Amino acid sequence: MTKKNASDEKNSKMPNVSPAPKSLLDDPLKIDPVTWKKVLEAQKRQEREQALPIPVVFPYVDMEEETEADRATDNNIKIGINMAKVDLETKLAAILSRYHREEAIPFPDLGFRLQAALRYATEMHKDQHRKGTDIPYVSHLYSVASLIMEAGGSENEVIAGLLHDTVEDQGGAQRLREIDALFGSEVAAIVEGCTDDMPEPGEEKRPWIERKTAYIEHLKTAPYSVRLVSNADKLHNARSILSDLYEAGESVWGRFSQPRDRTLWYYRALADEFARAPASERLSRELSEVINKLETLSMT
């Protein structure tokens, strides 16, 4: 009897999936929320049983040099998402298969939900840029998530950091319901708590001063997780303003919808509120320090 080697044993755990017809959807993110939630639950079960290797995320793939194997894997992803008769474990394996390649960078401490949130946030904000720059907007979301991790945030808090602007920028209440279905009510509640307005499609946001005053008031009684994510968000924004101010000068303030003094008022009010009852001493302290520098520069 032949003894199986480690490679054979590993490969036997991944279900085989046949190539998909070309007519199937290309984007795994288009799976409906209910099915996707079941896929996430299946992944948790698989991880507990150690039936799949630890998933990895965002391997670098040069699309100019995409191989036949890559295209075949893409077909596996399509069939895994779109064929109703394929069981959930097979769907999951199909979604992940592209990310198990040797050149992919593993993230062993990150759960599948967080990896799904990274991909979801990237898809939602892929066409956005930071105010007045060519910097992809997702850089802000990744930075906020990083600050939350460094402050000891939970997986749900990090996921909410990635998605904190999705409702306000990409669909309002309907998007919030989707986040609830995909990532759970705790994440949805944090995202809602970090959102200063949620107009229905076709509706205008409330006036700026009304929204910002209400948001500062809201923070006074907001839960710990909302304050943590919001502090990380405002700190990264303030850091970016300071960096751009050093580089581009006073013209930076022209990127905002409000004049310099009103923008500084808002950030000072936020810094004071986070300092009053910090969710993270480090994040709160740094925000105050950055605002101090912005105020000093604005007086010179």
Question: Is 168 in the active site?
Answer: yes
Q: What is the 3-state secondary structure (H, E, C) of the chain?
A: CCCCCHHHHHHHCCCCCCCCCCCCCCCHHHCCHHHHHHHHHHHHHHHHHCCCCCCECCCCCCHHHCCHHHHHHHHHHHHHHHCCCCCHHHHHHHHHHHHHCCCCCECCCCCHHHHHHHHHHHHHCCCCECCCCCCECHHHHHHHHHHHHHCCCCHHHHHHHHHCCHHHHCCHHHHHHHHHHHHCHHHHHHHHHCCCCCCCCCCCCCCHHHHHHHHHHHHCCCCHHHHHHHHHHHHHHHHHHHHHHHHHHHHHHHHCCCCHHHHHHHHHHHHHHHHHCCCCHHHHHHHHHHHHHHHHHHCC
Residues 22 and 162 in one domain: no
Residues 214-228: tens digit of each pLDDT: 999 999 999 999 999
100, 122, 148: which is the final residue of a domain? 100
* Same domain for 23 and 123: no
Which of the following is catalytic: 74, 89, 157, 168? 168
Same domain flag for 278 and 165: yes
What's the pLDDT tens digit per position in 111-154?
778 888 888 888 888 877 777 667 788 899 999 999 999 999 99
Instruction: Let me know if residue 166 belongs to a domain.
Output: yes
Please tell me whether residues 87 and 144 are part of one structural domain. no
Q: What is the mean pLDDT of residues 86-111?
A: 46
Q: Is the whole model's pTM more than 0.85, yes or no?
A: no
26 among known catalytic residues = no
Residue 205 domain flag = yes
Last residue of a domain, one of 100, 125, 140: 100
Catalytically annotated residue among 70, 169, 192, 272: 169
Are the beta carbons of 90 and 17 closer than 8 angstroms? yes
Summarised one tens digit per residue, pLDDT across range 185-210 is 999 999 999 999 887 777 888 999 99
Domain boundary among 100, 130, 158: 100
Q: Does some domain include residue 275? A: yes
Are 153 and 230 part of one and the same domain?
Answer: yes
Same domain assignment for residues 147 and 15 = no
Structure tokens at 149: 């991790």
Q: Is residue 107 part of a domain?
A: no
How many distinct structural domains can be found in the chain? Answer: 2
CATH classification at residue 292: 1.10.3210.10
The pLDDT of residue 181: 87
**Are 67 and 203 in a shared domain?**
no
End-to-end CA distance of the chain: 82
Chain mean position to CA 194: 14
Q: Which domain holds residue 218?
A: 112-298
94/196 same-domain check? no
Q: What is the percent of the chain where pLDDT is above 90?
A: 39
> Quick check: is 1 in a domain?
no
Is the residue at 105 inside a domain? no
Same domain, 72 and 185: no
187 in the same domain as 280? yes
